[in-house]
Amino acid sequence: MDTTINISHIPFSRYGAYVSITAEQDSDFLTIHNVRKRFEDGLALKLSFWHEGRQIGFTHEAAPECLVCSAPEGTVRIYIRDDETMVFVSEGMDLYFQTLVEYGYGTEKDENQFTIMNAGQKSYTFFGVSTGKGTLSGPFVEDDIWKWNGTPVDRRQNLRVECDKGKAHVAMWLSMEEVNHIAISEADEDIKAIKSEWQEFLAKMPDSRPDMPEAEKEFGRVTWYNLWSSFVRARDVYHYDTMLMSKKIMSSVWSWDHCFNALAMAQVSFSRRSCMTYLSVLY
């Protein structure tokens, strides 16, 4: 049974990842989060979709393994390749990434690789474009601090990736840490592997009652997804893989809040240490 995730309520992510995607109700853009930061400090990028020079509205539908954004003009599939990397495969729609920080600046290594410095988060976002054309531009800053000889400076902190004109296709990735260039021609295999990882996790969760209505069973699967996708990999102060409260705003660990998460996971032996990691962080 497939599980449908409403990313207006639950962030789209996966076990171990430090990145997530959310949408506001009836919005015409997606928000990409860097969950190493919490609250408003974790807002990294705004992603909108364009066609022939105009922004277009879209609908979205997510399963644990893949987020699909659809419009009459085309379709974009998004999945999380590893702990830092998102992959985007578009048919017919251009992608526009806007940096959600006050201070940032972009550079290009070549026509296929771009870097945007995020001074507010003290991090970098690396982009690789396999198919399509990327261009860094804007905003043009009027502040005196950024002027050079009286001319506003282009911070180049926004990236537009246009479809390959021959195929109306975009294939690209972004990473919140520097990684080697990755091949994304096997997107179907990547998505299949993520789905398998999710189903392996789900199989370890307590079963629903046989007489439970299907709507309640689906609610249970979405609840397990919310917990699964909130884990991040062991790193820095996290001695074990750790469940965050959320990968949207409350992307951190607190003893009081995590008591409830620990109770939910207590029957699953492999994750007891993971859910209780806050003890090693706080004490």
Domain CATH for 176? 2.70.98.10
Q: Helices 214-229 & 255-265, crossing angle to 10 degrees? A: 130
Last residue of a domain, one of 154, 186, 218: 186
CA distances from 4 to 28, 208, 227 (A): 20, 17, 15
Distance from C-alpha of 51 to C-alpha of 41, rounded to nearest angstrom = 31
Look at residue 1 and tell me if it is in a domain. Answer: no
- Amino acid residing at 64: P
Given a cut of 70, whether residue 184 has pLDDT beyond it is no
pLDDT at 283: 33
Same domain, 56 and 126: yes
Instruction: Enter the pTM of the model.
Output: 0.82
Q: What is the mean pLDDT of residues 213-223?
A: 84
Asked if 97 and 63 sit in the same domain, the reply is yes
Are 227 and 95 in the same domain?
Answer: no
**Confidence class for position 183, pLDDT limits 50, 70, 90:** low
Query: Are 201 and 181 within one domain?
Result: no
Residues 179 and 40 placed together within one structural domain of the fold: yes
Residues 123 and 159 in one domain: yes
Can you give the residue range of the structural domain that contains 267?
Answer: 191-282
Whether 245 is covered by a domain: the verdict is yes
Same domain? For 115 and 68 the reply is yes
- The residue among 140, 165, 186 that closes a domain is 186
pLDDT at 148 over 50: yes
Number of domains in the chain: 2
Mean model confidence pLDDT for the chain:
83
Instruction: Determine the pLDDT at residue 13.
Output: 96
Per-residue model confidence (pLDDT) at position 96: 97
Residues 178 and 249 placed together within one structural domain of the fold: no
Lowest mean pLDDT among 71-85, 127-141, 199-213, 235-249: 199-213
pLDDT-derived band of residue 7, with 50, 70 and 90 as boundaries? very high
Which string of DSSP letters, residue by residue, matches 86-152? EEEEEES-EEEEEE-SSSEEEEEEETTEEEEEETTTTEEEEEEEEESEEEE---EE-SGGG-BTTB-
> Of how many residues is the chain composed?
283
Position 11 in a domain: no
Closest by CA position to 88, among listed 184, 162, 154, 7 = 184
Angle between helices 187-203 and 214-229 (to 10 degrees): 110
SS3 166: coil
- Per mean pLDDT, which of 87-96, 157-166, 199-208 is the most reliable? 87-96
Residue 38 lies inside a defined structural domain of this protein:
yes
* Better-scored residue on pLDDT, 64 or 242: 64
If asked whether residues 248 and 181 sit together in one domain, one would say no
Return the structure tokens found at 156: 């180049």
Which of 156, 186, 216 is a domain's end point? Answer: 186
